[in-house]
Amino acid sequence: MAKTRGRRVAANLALTLDGRYNGPGGAGDLSAIVPYAVTDVARNHMTRIWETATTALLGRLNAEGFLGYWPTVARDEAADPRDRGYANWLAGAEKVVFSRTLTEAPWERTRIANGPVADVVSDLKASGKGDILVNSSASLIKSLLAVDMIDRLYLLICPEIAGGGERLFEDGLPGMSWAVAHQETGKRGEIALVYDRIR
């Protein structure tokens, strides 16, 4: 595990082989990622993501999308137990939603933040226990990578080339070294990777 001051900041995102978190159709184009998100490797990876986390950081769009989906999974007794585990964790976790437009929290145990991401995360690191998970919100992850505030990366690499769309790792990031903490490859070629920041 990487050494860090205060709580560990972890980030979770699925990427294609060409480093995209969506396709050429825009933010909603997840066609290269969705088929791999329901594999055993991906579901086991999702369990690892939340096991040590107590706080979830979300962008507004993700928060609204999650709110429309995960509560129903939590109540669905036929759902995969790993999916239900994540859904129940998300419902009970402290949630911080970054938004300039929301005026009230969309979920229980949720607060709205509209200040700089790094400032909010610095405050969270200084108090409480458990990991702070930046949960599939690429804009927040990018902001924290830019100031070297991420201690652990959970990446699901999907064996597709999207050929367009937004990239996670853009030019201009500071140089960083990472060590593999876990890796698992699925039958369809998806790879679950956990990287810890070497400091």
Structural domains of the chain, ranges and CATH numbers in brackets: 9-198 (3.40.430.10)
Q: What share of the chain is helix, strand, coil (3-state, %, to 5)?
A: 30, 30, 40
Helix (H, G, I), strand (E, B) or coil at 77: coil
pLDDT band at 2 (very low <50, low <70, confident <90, very high): very low
Confidence (pLDDT) at 63: 87
The reported pTM is 0.92
Q: What are the backbone dihedrals phi and psi of residue 23, each rounded to the nearest 5 degrees, phi first? A: -95, -175
pLDDT band at 102 (very low <50, low <70, confident <90, very high): confident
As a whole number, mean pLDDT of residues 154-169 equals 97
Average pLDDT, the chain: 93
C-alpha distances in Å from residue 13, one per residue of 18, 49, 56, 110, 115: 14, 10, 13, 21, 23
C-alpha distances in Å from residue 82, one per residue of 18, 56, 58, 87, 130: 28, 17, 20, 9, 20
Confidence (pLDDT) at 115: 87
- DSSP classification of residue 73: H
Strand 9-16 versus strand 131-135 pairing type: parallel
| Adjacent-strand bridge partners of 26 | 23
Confidence (pLDDT) at 32: 96
pLDDT tens-digit readout, 19-40 = 999 999 998 899 999 999 999 9
As a whole number, mean pLDDT of residues 170-193 equals 96
On the question of pLDDT at 154 being above 80, the answer is yes
pLDDT tens-digit readout, 41-97 = 999 999 999 999 999 999 988 888 888 889 899 999 999 999 999 999 999 999 999
Please name the residues in contact with 52: beta carbons below 8 A apart, sequence gap of 6 or more: 8, 10, 130, 131
pLDDT band at 4 (very low <50, low <70, confident <90, very high): low
